[in-house]
Structure formats: structure tokens, C-alpha cells
Amino acid sequence: MRALSVSRRTLPYVGIGAVVFFCLVPFYWMAVSAFRRPSDQFANTLLPSPWSLKNLTSVFSSTNGFGRALLNSLVVAGTTTVLTLIIGTFTAYALARLDFRFKNALLAIIIATSMFPGISQLVPLLKLFTDIGWINTYQAMILPSLGFCLPLTVWNLSVFFRQLPFELEQAAMVDGCTRGQAFRKIIIPLAAPGVFTTAIIAFIAAWNEFIIALSMVNKKEMQTATVTIAKFTGQYGFDQPFGTQMAAGIIVTIPLVIMVLIFQRRIISGLTAGGVK
């Protein structure tokens, strides 16, 4: 019985350790490969020997254009996140507070649109953007990303707004606030955990987007970081630059890790909101 009790206490930790190991091993190998010398990229040692920064310096070489690609990714992901929050917040609030026919059907349609694979929308979008002259522009990458992020944003935030009692707004209006002031001063601060969580999810989705950016942009100076990494060339122009790509992967991941670490409390409170009534 004692052995069974010990096993029951240790098995959850073993399972957690296995999951963490499974998730972190690819990142560990990416970091190790980034710090190897280019001539040692296919070595199987657990640590680089010797350590080298050549891959990291090669990432920002003038031929790669990785600095401009990072700026493009920041513009696309940042603009997508801001527009998603502005449109999604007002839409979710209206769906949470207003009563009208077919509201549940409308919510179902909104979330169903996010289930369509992005590749199925690629050809129509490419034809449309070609006709209106949007190829090689930021909006050609922002609007499709907005279409993918908005359904999830509306669905998540509508759940948060429904959890907030309507009496809060009524009390604010009794004290002299208008409906807009009650929304801005009372509802938005209370829904901040959900807004932060949704913003980070939208930013990560837009930051990691690949297929739209690859298809809508063919000018090197307009490519995002994910596309630029995929098009890295080796030292001789035809060899596979594994080390440089690994180093670029680390650089691209750093902003996301920093963001999650800074806002981790908001994320946790947003994910667990409504769990206890």
C-alpha cells in the first residue's frame, strides 16, 4: 500500500517531466545547433565544441536582410493585434450584451470561419489582391491575418463580457456615466485579463504566419522573418544553412518568450477566469 501511495504521488511529476522534456528538447537542440561552427552542424554532441557565434552573426549579414524582415514581422503582427483588439472588443461586447434573433447562430458562424484551412483561402485572396494592386504590401498580409485572428478574439471576449454582471454598468450609469463611459471605465478594466490573453494569442498567430506572407509578397524587402528564414542560402549558395536558420529561429522566438514572461500573470488569470463562480 505504501509503495502504491508513493507511486501515485510521483506519477504526476513523472508525467509533467516527460511533457516538459518532449516540448523543450527541440528548442534545446535548436540552441545547440545555433552555437556550433558551420563545419560542425551535423555533429551529435550534446554541447557545441567549440562554441561559435558565426551563425548568429551570419543571420544579420547584408545578403539575408533579416533585420528588415524582423521589422516587417513586427509591423504586420503589431498592426494585426491592434486591429483585432479594437474590432473584436466592440463586436464581442455587442454580442454579449444585445439580444437579437439568431445571435447564437451568428456566434457559431464566426467561430466556424476560423476552422477553414488557410490554404483554401489562398487562391481567392491572391486573385483579389492582384486585381486591386495589393501584392507586396503590408495590408496584403495584415487583412488575411486579421480574418484568422478575429473569430477567436470575438469568441473569447464575448465569453468574458457575458461573465460580467450587467448591474455594474447600470450602477455606473446611475452615477452619471454614459454607456460608452461605463464600457471604457468599468468593463474594459475588469476584462483586462481576457484582453491581454487574446492579444498575446493574436500576436503569436500573426508573428508565426507563413503561408500568406510567402504567397502575397515576392519582394525581399517586404518579406517577414518566417519567410526570410525559409529562404536563407548557405555559404556556397546551394548548401542548406541549418546553423543560420537555427540561430534565426532563436532570435524570432525571443520576443514571444519575453512577452509571455512579462504578462504571465495576466495570461494565467485570463485563462482561468470563470473557472470558479
Q: What pLDDT digit, counting tens, does each position of 141-155 carry?
A: 999 999 888 988 898
Does residue 18 fall inside a structural domain?
Answer: no
Count: domains in the chain: 1
Instruction: Decide: 195 and 184 in contact? Cβ < 8 Å.
Output: no
For 164, how many CA atoms within 13 A lie in the half-sphere containing its CB?
Answer: 23
Q: Would you state the pLDDT for residue 75? A: 95
Does residue 55 fall inside a structural domain?
Answer: no
Q: Would you state the pLDDT for residue 276? A: 44
Q: Would you state the pLDDT for residue 62? A: 62
Q: Would you state the pLDDT for residue 184? A: 85
pTM: 0.83
Sites in the chain below the pLDDT cut of 50: 274-277
Per-residue pLDDT tens over the stretch 83-126: 999 999 999 988 888 888 888 888 888 888 877 777 888 888 98
Q: For residues 61 and 4, give the distance between their C-alpha atoms in angstroms, rounded to a whole number.
A: 59
Does residue 143 fall inside a structural domain?
Answer: yes
Q: What is the CATH number of the domain that holds 133?
A: 1.10.3720.10
Which residue blocks in the chain are alpha helix, DSSP H? 2-34, 54-59, 66-97, 103-113, 122-131, 139-163, 167-174, 179-182, 188-190, 192-208, 211-216, 225-230, 242-262, 264-272
Cβ-count burial 255-268 (b if 16+ within 10 Å, e if not): beeebeeebeebbe
Q: For residues 72 and 87, give the distance between their C-alpha atoms in angstroms, rounded to a whole number.
A: 22
Does residue 16 fall inside a structural domain?
Answer: no
Does residue 23 fall inside a structural domain?
Answer: no
Q: Kindly state the cell numbers that stand for 228.
A: 526570410
Does residue 250 fall inside a structural domain?
Answer: no
Q: Kindly state the cell numbers that stand for 3.
A: 509503495
Does residue 80 fall inside a structural domain?
Answer: yes
Does residue 102 fall inside a structural domain?
Answer: yes
Q: For residues 215 and 58, give the distance between their C-alpha atoms in angstroms, rounded to a whole number.
A: 26
Instruction: Decide: 30 and 250 in contact? Cβ < 8 Å.
Output: yes
Q: For residues 134 and 122, give the distance between their C-alpha atoms in angstroms, rounded to a whole number.
A: 14
Q: Which domain, by its residues, includes 213?
A: 65-231
